[in-house]
C-alpha cells in the first residue's frame, strides 16, 4: 500500500512591519509662522525674557517646542547661577521666581535658594565685620566672621577682615603679638585673590 504524505503545516504569516514614528513637521503653508515663532523665541532668550520664551515655545509644533522648552529652562537656570556668582542676588531672586513658574520639582532650584540665602548671610557679615574693624573693635569683628569660617562659608573678604583684626590686636597687645600675628598671616593666606583689598593692603599684616 502506498504511503500517504501528510500535508506540511503552512508557514506562519510574516510579522507586521514596525511602525516608525517620525516627528511632526510644519506644513509648508505654516513654514513662515514657524520661522517667525523661532525668531521671537531666540530674541526673547537673548533678552533674558525666559517666561515669554517658554510661552512662545508652547506655541511651536511638538518637534520644535519640546527642545525649545528645554533650551529656555537651561538658559534660565544658567542665568540664575551667573547672577549668584556675580553677587547680583536681587536679580538672581527675580530669575529664580521666573524659573519656579516654568520649572517644577527641580533640585537645582532648591539649591539656588539655599545658595542665595548663604550669600546674603556672607554679605551681611562682611558689612558688619568691616564696620567693626574700622571702629577698632577687633574682637567683635572676628566674632562676626568666625562662625561662617567654621562652616566653610566665609568669603575671602571675611578672612581678610579677620586677619586685619588679629593684626590690630597684635598692635594693642604686645604680650600676645606673636600669636596674633601668626593668626593674621594664616588667615591672610586663606583670603581669596578676588577679595579686593588683600593685595593692596598685604603690607599691613604680612611680616
pTM, entire model: 0.68
Question: CA torsion, points 130, 135, 136, 140, in degrees to nearest 10?
Answer: -60
Is the predicted pLDDT of residue 206 greater than 70, yes or no? no
CA 156 to chain centre: 19
Residue 3 or 53, more confident: 53
Note the pLDDT tens digit of each residue in 188-205.
888 865 555 555 555 554
pLDDT tens track for 28-41: 447 788 889 999 99
Task: Say whether 96 sits in a helix, a strand or coil.
Answer: helix
**Which has more pLDDT, 4 or 91?**
91
The pLDDT assigned to 62 comes to 82
- Say what the pLDDT of residue 23 is: 37
User: Is residue 94 scored above 90 in pLDDT?
Assistant: yes
Neighbour-count burial of 128, counting CB atoms closer than 10 A to its CB (0-12 exposed, 13-18 middle, 19+ buried)? middle
Please determine, for residue 7, whether its predicted confidence score (pLDDT) is greater than 80.
Answer: no
Contact 76, 50 (CB under 8 A): yes
Amino acid at each position: 500500500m502506498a504511503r500517504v504524505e501528510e500535508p506540511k503545516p503552512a508557514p506562519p504569516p510574516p510579522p507586521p512591519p514596525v511602525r516608525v514614528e517620525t516627528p511632526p513637521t510644519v506644513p509648508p503653508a505654516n513654514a513662515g509662522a514657524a520661522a517667525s515663532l523661532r525668531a521671537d523665541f531666540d530674541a526673547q532668550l537673548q533678552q533674558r525674557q525666559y517666561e515669554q520664551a517658554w510661552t512662545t515655545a508652547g506655541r511651536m509644533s511638538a518637534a520644535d517646542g519640546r527642545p525649545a522648552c528645554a533650551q529656555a529652562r537651561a538658559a534660565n537656570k544658567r542665568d540664575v547661577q551667573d547672577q549668584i556668582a556675580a553677587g547680583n542676588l536681587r536679580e538672581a531672586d527675580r530669575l529664580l521666581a521666573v524659573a519656579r513658574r516654568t520649572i517644577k520639582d527641580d533640585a537645582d532650584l532648591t539649591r539656588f535658594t539655599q545658595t542665595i540665602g548663604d550669600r546674603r548671610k556672607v554679605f551681611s557679615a562682611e558689612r558688619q565685620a568691616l564696620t567693626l574693624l574700622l571702629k577698632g573693635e577687633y574682637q567683635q569683628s572676628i566674632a562676626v566672621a568666625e562662625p561662617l569660617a567654621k562652616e566653610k562659608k566665609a568669603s575671602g573678604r571675611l578672612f581678610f577682615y579677620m586677619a586685619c583684626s588679629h593684626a590690630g590686636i597684635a598692635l594693642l597687645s604686645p604680650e600676645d603679638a606673636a600669636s596674633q600675628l601668626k593668626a593674621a598671616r594664616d588667615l591672610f593666606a586663606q583670603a581669596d585673590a578676588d577679595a579686593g583689598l588683600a593685595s593692596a593692603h598685604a603690607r599691613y599684616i604680612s611680616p
